[in-house]
Amino acid sequence: MAIKKKKTPTKAKTVKTNSRTSKVILDSKIPAGPIADKWDKHRFNLKLVNPANKRKYEVIVVGSGLAGASAAASLAELGYKVKCFCYQDSPRRAHSIAAQGGINAAKNYQNDGDSAYRLFYDTVKGGDYRSRESNVYRLAQVSVDIIDQCAAQGVPFAREYGGLLANRSFGGAQVSRTFYARGQTGQQLLLGAYSALNRQISLGNVEMHTRSEMLDVVMIDGHAKGIVVRNMISGEISRHAAHSVVLATGGYGNVFFLSTNAMGCNVTASYRAYKRGACFANPCFTQIHPTCIPVSGDHQSKLTLMSESLRNDGRVWVPKDKKTAEKIRKGELSPNDISDKDRDYFLERKYPSFGNLVPRDVASRNAKEVCDEGRSVVSSGLGVYLDFADSIKRMGENTVRERYGNLFDMYEKITGTNAYQNPMTIYPAVHYTMGGLWVDYNLMSNLPGLFAIGEANFSDHGANRLGASALMQGLADGYFVLPYTIGQYLAENGISDRPSIDDSAFSVVQDEVESRIETLLSIKGDRTPTSFHRELGQIMWDKCGMARNKEGLEEALLTIPKLRKEFWQNLSVPGKNTALNQSLEHAGRVADFLEFGELMCRDALQREESCGGHFREEHQTPEGEAKRNDDDFSYVSAWEHKGENKKPQLHKENLVYDEVKMTQRSYK
Amino acid sequence: MNLKLKVWRQDNAEDDGRFEYFEALDISPDMSFLEMLDVVNEGIISDGDEAIAFDSDCREGICGTCSMVINGVPHGGQKGTTACQLHMRHFNDGDTIVIEPWRATAFPVHRDLIVDRSSFDRIQRSGGFISVRTGSVPDANATPVAKENSDLAMDAAQCIGCGACVAACKNASAMLFVAAKVSHLSLMPQGQPERNRRALAMVNQMDEEGFGNCSVNGSCEAVCPKEISLDFIARMNREYGRALLKKGCS
Ligand SMILES: Cc1cc2nc3c(=O)[nH]c(=O)nc-3n(C[C@H](O)[C@H](O)[C@H](O)COP(=O)(O)OP(=O)(O)OC[C@H]3O[C@@H](n4cnc5c(N)ncnc54)[C@H](O)[C@@H]3O)c2cc1C
Ligand code: FES
């Protein structure tokens, strides 16, 4: 139950809110034995909670996306008492809803040679050897159960005429293992998880809190035992205690201001946990998606993804010379005026065997490169063509319409351009964050009792995520991993290990949260939260985006603190705390991004290699490809907060590859 | 282009509310409708006043968060388009645009253009699910589903739960929303065991929430951003009738 703040005089007790004095030890708890047996053996060895006692345990789940909703529903089915929180007005609107393409699973329904081992192998390789083998293998193993579960919930997956499930192929794999529901796979999977969650809410096993923003974690004796939450309608701050806290709060792509993420996506929950002692892993690993609709002006509030499948039939090009490009930008020439010999199909030219189908990071970097050379075809200087003219000639407009009709419609809605007649313009955009809270094999952070699942953790995708694998990971964590592994922690610590919300640790955190809100409201400067967010985003995109270098990152490490200083002196947040106040909500999130952006740059600076989505210009092959340095950098960088205005400390979890041989990726 | 906005302002559920007027200057045709509002809000905040509150999240037409009546039409009247995907090229320099929240007894206003749609969640909770526990399910291909059925189920399941159907209906009926969910699950073999119970429970909950009756005039279908067909209402009426009969028999 949420109780309004009682003004208990906060006695000057020794505050037990953090474990900062205790030394951080990153124990990944990878079970021993052959990779294929690890999970089974581990499950057998995990402590069980007596069924009769389960309802005496309370678990807080923050987030109701694929990870959070599936976890909350599954935990409640097991008998635990669950409280679930989200910032939207309904759990059904979590950002997972926007995923389009599909979800991978090693079902081998196509009989094309797929297996758990192959999915595992593809994921480790696709992640450029910076993920943890044991976790990825488990992910591949449970992937098959996810499809069964979702089908049983009534998810209307695409079917063949015989009534069996259909598959499509996706980047980075040679088998057809992606399940989908038209272009709305995330929506349908989330509605499935939401229905399971609804059932548990109606049975009284889950207490759902919508329009509720978690603003901090409460630590007691070094364990995560609760959260402090703001009701976004009334502004009321409440305390919630539990035996354990699960963060399923999604990714932090909005640190770049412009991304394909929903407007409300934020880093607040993970970042607050970090400031209470949880290690943040690989924060600089972000994924840039090559096919998004370019920015149309300063008013731009977010970017829209166009499915990657378009690269199957679209050809990417820019003019060969700068002058022609300039004329196009000025509107003096149109793309159809340019003859084939004056076009540069740069992906086909540089990567003859993969052509337009090179992985996301390679396609993105090359688009940036030709634009940097002055050969962009949109007035902002940031856009290349994706041309369907040849496909239309080859297979007819109708076939193209059948395959991509909804995407062409969406493109026209946003840009006003008919892509059957003119090429599309596209540019890369921030899409996904591989980094996240450090977790062990049980998905528990280094803070006992604090778990992180879904995009909020770091473990499965290494330095680059394959398409259709985020939905798989969110549901694997929530349905099939966390419900088992959390039992170990709960059983070890016992029923009595649940504090009261009157504990002084809660008062201290609530006071901190309230005084922060009051500060944001009292600055009364000139600049809006959005203007700070936009400026931070620009710094991050320029210095810590698709390509990074030492000089730029060092510069960002100077400019971000300056911007942050200005934020706390010149921010304008009209209105009050005790009402719905969207400027205040945004300001709180931007405040955290302003600190977090610095951590990302620091991480990108220390990683003196290029891998996956992290491209350091100093570390490339003579042909301009990413050059890994396995001898020195095959580790997870896990950052520990050491206090305000102090440098965070880097901890390393060494990655060991017993199964997959590390090789340099080549798509030539 | 330059526009005049007439916007509904209301401090909270108890407040009577009023229209306020704003100017939206120098608006680019490439902006989305919500980006136009962002621009206006930036100006308001810089002046130290409180921004116009409106809901949005994905801004891609899929989460169902955005919800506003634009010139009398929920989502602004472009076919199959949510407010967040509506672009300013459909307006003309000098236009006055009237912006209001969804208006329905079952959707009380929280603030300005933001309403409380938790009634939709409660309808879903009353029976909009298939009762399966995690883990205790058969192999996905053990239950074939005719392609026609799963395609039709998908047509219904596309509903984004935005509530435009209610806002457009003169009776503020939620029939199209409920029909979409009931139809989706009743078309799938997995949904059969609870088919009757589900139809009864969801319709009853809809009535309890204070939504009006359906007089099948089709204004819901016309504004639905996912173009969900009225046929699903007919289907649901059959489902409901069937369920009542079964109940009567038992
Ligand atoms: C446009 C787009 C298309 C994509 N397509 C695909 C695809 O085809 N296949 C694929 O596998 N992946 C895809 N992805 C990636 C995938 O959708 C996400 O990684 C995944 O859905 C994340 O799920 P999640 O449950 O971890 O987080 P989310 O779904 O983001 O949920 C986060 C939850 O946390 C809550 N929350 C956040 N912060 C707070 C807070 N402070 N207080 C309270 N609650 C909070 C939110 O309310 C929400 O409920 C796509 C992503 C995008 C952006
Ligand atoms: S904001 Fe998501 S549908 Fe409009």
Q: What is the pLDDT of residue B247?
A: 86
Give the C-alpha distances (Å, rounded to integers) separating A4 from A16, A229, A232, A386, A506. 22, 11, 15, 55, 12
Contacts of A585 in chain B (CB under 8 A): none
Closest-lying ligand 1 atom to the alpha carbon of residue A454: 26
- H-type helices in chain B, by residue range? 33-46, 118-127, 147-157, 164-168, 175-187, 195-208, 219-223, 231-249
- Ligand 2 centroid vs A259 CA: distance in angstroms? 15
Ligand with the closest atom to the CA of B54:
2
Structure tokens at A499: 């504090």
Look at residue A9 in the predicted model and tell me its pLDDT: 39
Distance (Å, rounded) from C-alpha B101 to C-alpha B17? 11
d(CA A489, CA A484): 10
Instruction: Verify whether ligand 2 is closer than 6 Å to residue B64 (CB atom).
Output: yes
How far apart CA B228 and CA B230 sit, in angstroms, is 7
Query: Where is pLDDT greater, at B183 or A403?
Result: B183
Provide the percentage of residues in chain A whose pLDDT is more than 70: 96
Residue of A142, A301, A475 to mutate, interface with B, max B Cβ within 10 Å: A301
> Which chain B residues are Cβ-neighbours of A91 within 8 angstroms?
121
Q: What is the pLDDT of residue A221?
A: 95
Q: Which DSSP letter does residue B136 get?
A: -
Count of Cβ atoms closer than 10 Å to residue B223 Cβ:
24
Tokens linked to B162: 């935005």
Tokens 């970017």 belong to which residue?
A: A303
Residue A664: pLDDT band (50, 70, 90) is confident
Of A205, A214, A279, A254, nearest to A28 (Cα)?
A: A279
Coil/strand/helix, residue B196: helix
Give the pLDDT score at A622: 85
Q: How far is the CA of A285 from the centre of ligand 2 (A)?
A: 28
CA A378 to CA A373: how far, in whole Å?
A: 14
Does the pLDDT value for residue A632 go beyond 50? yes
In three state form, how does the secondary structure of A193-243 look? HHHHHHHHHHCCCEEEECCEEEEEEEEECCEEEEEEEEECCCCCEEEEECC
Q: So what's the pLDDT on residue A14?
A: 38
Please tell me if the CB atom of residue B86 comes closer than 6 angstroms to any atom of ligand 2.
no
Cα separation, A33 vs A573, in Å, equals: 56
**pLDDT tens digits, residue range B207-227?**
999 999 999 999 999 999 999
Domains of chain A: residue spans and CATH: 11-30+50-214+246-285+434-498 (3.50.50.60), 289-430 (3.90.700.10), 507-628 (1.20.58.100)
| Residue of A78, A582, A584, A589 to mutate for B, most B C-beta atoms under 10 A | A582
Residue B179 has pLDDT above 60, yes or no: yes
Q: Buried b / exposed e across A345-369, counting CB within 10 Å, b at 16+? A: bbbeebbeebbbbbbbbbbbbbbbe
What is the CB neighbour count within 10 angstroms for residue A333?
Answer: 17
Q: What pLDDT band is residue B249 in, cutting at 50, 70 and 90?
A: low
Q: How far apart are CA A528 and CA B66, in angstroms?
A: 22
Tell me: the pLDDT tens digits for A426-447?
999 999 999 999 999 999 999 9
Catalytic residues of A: 360
- Ligand in nearest proximity to the CA of A101: 1
Give the model's confidence band at B250: pLDDT under 50 very low, under 70 low, under 90 confident, else very high. Answer: low
Structure tokens at A166: 């259909």
Which residues in chain B have Cβ-Cβ distances shorter than 8 Å to A160? 147
The answer to whether residue B93 scores a pLDDT higher than 80 is yes
For B216, the 3-state DSSP assignment is coil
Q: Which residue type sits at B139?
A: D
Q: Which residues are CB-neighbours of A510 under 8 A, at least 6 positions away?
A: A5, A228, A237, A239
**Structure tokens of A109?**
């329904």
Nearest-CA distance B108 → chain A (Å): 13
Domain parsing of chain B, residue ranges:
3-110, 117-249
CB pairs under 8 A between A and B: 222
A96 alpha carbon – ligand 2 mean position (Å): 13
Is A454 a residue whose pLDDT tops 90?
yes
Q: For residue B12, give the nearest of A98, A262, A579 by CB distance.
A: A579
Choose among A33, A455, A62: nearest CA to A253: A455
Per-residue pLDDT band at A172 (split at 50, 70, 90): low
pLDDT at A38 > cutoff 50: yes
pLDDT, position B142: 97
Mean pLDDT of A178-204: 96
Summarize the confidence of residues A559-574 as an average pLDDT: 98
Report in angstroms the alpha-carbon separations of A154 from A100, A334, A489, A552, B137.
18, 48, 33, 50, 12
Question: A185-202 and A133-152 helices cross at what angle (nearest 10)?
Answer: 70
Residue A16, pLDDT score: 41
ipTM: 0.98
- Does the pLDDT value for residue A397 go beyond 60? yes
Average pLDDT over residues A254-263: 98
What confidence score (pLDDT) does residue A22 get? Answer: 58
* Bigger pLDDT: B247 vs B77: B77
Which regions of A535-590 does DSSP assign to beta strands (E)?
Answer: none
Best interface-test mutation with A: which of B67, B125, B195 has the largest number of A CBs within 10 A?
A: B125
The answer, yes or no, to whether any atom of ligand 2 lies below 6 A from the CB of B66, is: yes
Is the CB of B34 within 6 Å of ligand 2? no
Task: Report how far residue A652's alpha carbon sits from residue A25's, in angstroms, rounded to the nearest whole number.
Answer: 10
- Average pLDDT, whole number, for chain A? 94
Residue range A578-600: mean pLDDT, rounded:
98
Q: How far is CA A629 from CA A299, A486, A496, A616, B90, in A?
A: 41, 36, 48, 11, 53
Residue B13 touches chain A, beta carbons under 8 Å:
no
CA terminus-to-terminus distance, chain A: 59
pLDDT digits (tens, 9 = 90+) for B109-130: 999 999 999 999 999 999 999 9
**Region B117-249: CATH code:** 1.10.1060.10
| Record: fold of B3-110 | Ubiquitin-like (UB roll) (3.10.20)
Query: Which atom in ligand 2 lies closest to the alpha carbon of residue B162?
Result: 3
Q: Does B79 touch chain A (CB under 8 A)?
A: no
Q: A194-218, pLDDT tens digit by residue?
A: 999 999 999 999 999 999 999 999 9
CB of A432 within 6 A of ligand 1: the answer is yes
Q: Taking a C-beta distance cutoff of 8 angstroms, is the pair B22, B7 a contact?
A: yes
- 3-state secondary structure (DSSP) of residue A149: helix
> Are the beta carbons of B135 and A145 separated by less than 8 Å?
yes
Whole-model pTM over 0.90: yes
Q: Closest ligand 2 atom, CA of B63?
A: 2
- Report pLDDT for A361: 83
Protein residue whose Cα sits closest to atom 3 of ligand 2: B61
Q: Rounded to an integer, what distance in angstroms lies between the CA atom of residue A286 and that of residue A611?
A: 11
Does ligand 2 have an atom closer than 6 angstroms to the CB of B65?
yes
- Report CA(B56)–ligand 2 centroid distance (Å): 5
Residues 529-558, chain A, touching B (beta carbon < 8 A): 529-531
Whether B59 and A263 lie within 8 Å, measured CB to CB: yes
Give A280-329 pLDDT, tens digit per residue.
999 999 999 999 999 999 999 999 999 888 888 899 999 999 999 999 99
Nearest ligand for residue A436 CA: 1
Quote the ligand 1 centre to A251 CA distance (angstroms): 7
Give the number of whichever ligand sits closest to the CA of residue B59.
2
For the cut 90, the answer to whether the pLDDT of residue A402 exceeds it is: no
- In this prediction, residues A114-132 reach a mean pLDDT of 95
> A42-69 pLDDT, tens per residue?
999 999 999 999 999 999 999 999 999 9
- Angle, helices A133-152 vs A38-45, to 10°: value is 80
Question: Which strand ranges, in their side-by-side order, compose the sheet holding B73-74?
Answer: B18-24, B3-9, B96-100, B69-70, B73-74
**Per-residue tokens: A648:** 């965070």
Among protein residues, the one with the nearest Cα to ligand 1's atom 37 is A249
Read off the pLDDT of each residue in A619-639 and give the average, rounded to a whole number: 93
How many other C-beta atoms can be found within 10 angstroms of the C-beta atom of residue B15?
11
Q: What is the mean pLDDT of residues B83-97?
A: 97
